[in-house]
Amino acid sequence: MIPTEIKILVADDMPTIRDLVKTQLRALGFKKILEAENGEQALNLLIQHEDGPDKVKMIISDWNMPKMSGLEFLKQVRATEHWANLPFVLLTSESERDQVTEAILAGVSQYVVKPFAGKAFEEKMKSAWAKHQKK
């Protein structure tokens, strides 16, 4: 079970998708939600919130974003020792096998193909969280 007091970073260039994800998260009991409109802004927020008890504990990011894609953001996160074990869920309309394989090789915890149902989203989050609690 994911503790609902954790801080989650949501990155998506579409405000409607960010709102949808935030609504899903709030329905699951999460209250501490940061949002970014691209990977570059998300990385900056992650840096700003990297210390202390209130640091980001999970990332939910779109794949296709301007300035820095979700995949590039994922690679930056995994290349930083401090965040290497952070649960990272990629939201994507990409279901091409090559792209999914690339995300898996880059260290994605889970990916969710858009559009998604609330229950499927919740299950992917739980799976991503559980995967990183074992490490």
51 touches 81 (CB < 8 A): no
Residue 2 belongs to some domain of the structure: no
41/26 Cα distance (integer angstroms): 22
Query: What is the predicted pLDDT for the residue at 135?
Result: 56
Residue 60 belongs to some domain of the structure: yes
Q: What pTM value is reported for the model?
A: 0.94
Query: What is the predicted pLDDT for the residue at 114?
Result: 82
Query: What is the predicted pLDDT for the residue at 15?
Result: 96
Query: What is the predicted pLDDT for the residue at 50?
Result: 85
Number of domains the chain is built from? 1
Query: What is the predicted pLDDT for the residue at 100?
Result: 82
Residue 34 belongs to some domain of the structure: yes
| CATH number where 83 lies | 3.40.50.2300
Sheet holding 88-92, edge to edge: 32-36, 7-11, 56-62, 88-92, 110-113
Residue 101 belongs to some domain of the structure: yes
As averages over each run of 10 residues, the pLDDT of the chain (135 residues) reads 94 95 95 96 93 89 93 95 93 77 92 86 94 79
Residue 94 belongs to domain spanning: 7-133
Query: What is the predicted pLDDT for the residue at 130?
Result: 93
SS3 state at 83: helix
Burial of 67 (0-12, 13-18, 19+ CB in 10 A): middle
